[in-house]
């Protein structure tokens, strides 16, 4: 969402309509987005480190829609010359905050509150989120575990006092979420009318400094005194890292024997799935393998080397979620160290896994990422937000020439001009038997690594790429439509309804 064109420094829920038009004209039926939660410059504005697993990012609220609703003046829409190629979060955040504050003041005095009050009264998670955000503002954005004891422990009596003291701030944060959800549902309805379904992205773990942990401390592995994690998430050492990856997220108390904690944990996940599925049509679960088994690292360790594998909740958990919520349309992110047990869990649930074409060319004819080896129940990606662009991969001197040669052979090329690399990757993805083919916009356009979205384990320079509006051209749309039609990936037309008097 942040990468969409707009004059306001970051993609928003007005300019998403134009992208949906582009997708529909190009014959595309799915749009995959990154997580939608509120982000923070403290964490590099990463969508995977949010203050809430339920709330929406207020940076995506569209100023034009606030103007049409009478909450801003036309002069307010004049943006201070933002870049169209990357998000300048240090400029965008204060500018958007000023607009939202002005819209709030006008809404308080002249707005129609019926929709707002209905949203506030019917949104179960909103009270915890808005109190949390108001407390963070009061305590100068310090993490919740550094707040005074009485609010750090979420003592009910102290929280009632805080709710009264911070009532105005709380109501402002409720207003932010009302705007986000109202604009999002308007956009999603338009997407549905255009035949475009939205694929969301759900990180398995939540950030330590989040309302999810603060308001639900009982379901996470935390130390009683410091409330810091007793154990944290990560992955063990492998080919890519001799010390593993230490993510630092608190772990869920999946293995507790206390029924109350288990019930609370399952109830929280039920609310989480229900909220996310109110926003999207399909959900990619990031780090799906953590539901089968997860790497648990002692909370004080500085690397992930000395962790242990622990059993996740497995099939029982998902069957319970299905019992409560019905069928869950899920894509399982099954990349990395995948065991037969993880594959069995995925297959028992019927979830498609992921295939990344950039991982296919290691010289092994049995490589599971080679299109000739796909089980049809999978989703193929040329790359993801964590990968090079495909052109960047091809130009990378660290990628062995043998890998590039194998790519050319797979594409039936003796030689591959640079301007054709991205389209050859797309050819391989679309011509595969995968049930779905997902293409990063950078790969559709043939952009290099200067347009890469994220470089894992680097603290800055990520999540900022934006696509200028001129790149959503008729030529690109027509080419993509032709490829989609050629590989029989257009949606089947709906059967026509019989006219009056016509026999069925």
Catalytic pick among 286, 292, 388, 443: 286
Going along 273-406, which residue ranges are E strands? 282-286, 293-298, 308-311, 330-332, 353-356, 378-381
**Contact between 13 and 58 (Cβ < 8 Å):** no
Neighbours of 485 (CB within 10 A): 11
Residue from 227, 218, 209, 216 nearest 133 by CA: 209
Catalytic pick among 333, 334, 424, 443: 333
Catalytic pick among 64, 281, 347, 386: 386
**3-state secondary structure (DSSP) of residue 229:** strand
* SS3 readout for 295-307: EEEECCCCCCCCC
Residue from 292, 320, 162, 295 nearest 235 by CA: 295
- Residue 117 annotated as catalytic: no
In the block, residue with structure tokens 């379904």 = 197
- In sign, the C-alpha dihedral spanning 406, 412, 417, 421 is negative
- Residue 281 annotated as catalytic: no
**Pairwise CA distance, residues 211 & 205, whole Å:** 13
**Pairwise CA distance, residues 45 & 288, whole Å:** 23
- Residue 333 annotated as catalytic: yes
Going along 12-65, which residue ranges are E strands? 30-32
* SS3 readout for 131-175: HHHHHHHHCCCCCHHHCCHHHHCCCHHHHHHHHHHCHHHHHHHHH
Q: What is the DSSP letter of 388?
A: P
Q: Which residues contact 86 (CB under 8 A, 6 or more apart)?
A: 464, 465, 466
DSSP 404-458: HHHHHHHTT-SS--GGGHHHHHHHHHHTS--SEEE--HHHHHT--GGG-S--TT-
Catalytic residues: 286, 333, 386
């Amino acid at each position: 969402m942040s990468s969409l064109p707009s004059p306001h420094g970051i993609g928003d829920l007005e300019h998403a309509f134009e992208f949906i038009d582009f997708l529909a004209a190009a014959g595309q039926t799915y749009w995959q987005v990154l997580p939608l939660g509120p982000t923070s410059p403290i964490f590099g504005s990463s969508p995977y480190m949010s203050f809430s697993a339920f709330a929406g990012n207020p940076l995506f609220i569209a100023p034009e829609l606030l103007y049409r609703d009478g909450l801003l003046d036309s002069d307010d829409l004049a943006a201070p010359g933002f870049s169209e190629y990357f998000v300048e979060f240090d400029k965008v955040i204060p500018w958007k905050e000023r607009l939202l504050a002005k819209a709030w003041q006008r809404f308080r005095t002249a707005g129609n509150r019926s929709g707002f009050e209905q949203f506030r009264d019917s949104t179960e998670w909103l009270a915890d989120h808005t109190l949390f955000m108001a407390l963070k503002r009061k305590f100068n954005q310090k993490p919740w575990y550094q707040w005074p004891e009485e609010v750090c422990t979420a003592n009910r009596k102290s929280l009632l006092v805080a709710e009264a003291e911070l009532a105005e701030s709380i109501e402002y944060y409720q207003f932010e979420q009302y705007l986000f959800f109202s604009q999002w549902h308007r956009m999603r309805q338009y997407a549905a009318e255009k035949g475009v379904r939205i694929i969301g992205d759900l990180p398995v773990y939540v950030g330590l400094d989040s309302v999810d942990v603060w308001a639900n401390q009982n379901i996470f592995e935390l130390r009683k005194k410091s409330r810091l994690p007793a154990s944290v998430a990560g992955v063990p050492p492998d080919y890519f890292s001799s010390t593993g990856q230490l993510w630092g997220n608190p772990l869920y108390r999946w293995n507790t024997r206390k029924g109350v904690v288990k019930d609370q944990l399952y109830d929280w996940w039920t609310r989480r799935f229900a909220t996310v599925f109110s926003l999207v049509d399909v959900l990619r679960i990031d780090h799906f393998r953590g539901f089968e088994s997860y790497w648990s690292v002692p909370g004080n360790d500085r690397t992930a080397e000395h962790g242990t594998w622990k059993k996740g909740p497995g099939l029982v958990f998902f069957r319970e979620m299905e019992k409560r919520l019905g069928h869950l349309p899920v894509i399982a992110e099954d990349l990395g160290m995948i065991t037969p047990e993880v594959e069995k869990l995925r297959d028992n649930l019927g979830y498609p896994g992921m295939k990344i074409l950039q991982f296919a060319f290691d010289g092994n004819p049995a490589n599971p990422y080679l299109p000739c080896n796909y089980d049809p129940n999978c989703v193929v990606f040329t790359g993801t937000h964590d990968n090079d662009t495909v052109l960047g991969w091809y130009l990378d001197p660290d990628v062995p020439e043998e890998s590039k040669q194998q790519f050319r052979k797979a594409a039936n090329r003796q030689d591959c001009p640079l301007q054709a690399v991205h389209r050859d990757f797309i050819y391989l993805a679309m011509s595969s038997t995968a049930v779905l083919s997902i293409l990063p916009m950078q790969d559709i356009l043939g952009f290099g690594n200067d347009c890469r979205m994220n470089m894992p384990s680097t603290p800055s320079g990520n999540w900022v790429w934006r696509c200028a509006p001129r790149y959503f051209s008729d030529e690109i749309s027509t080419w993509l439509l032709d490829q989609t039609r050629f590989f029989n990936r257009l949606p089947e037309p709906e059967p026509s309804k019989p006219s009056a008097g016509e026999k069925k």
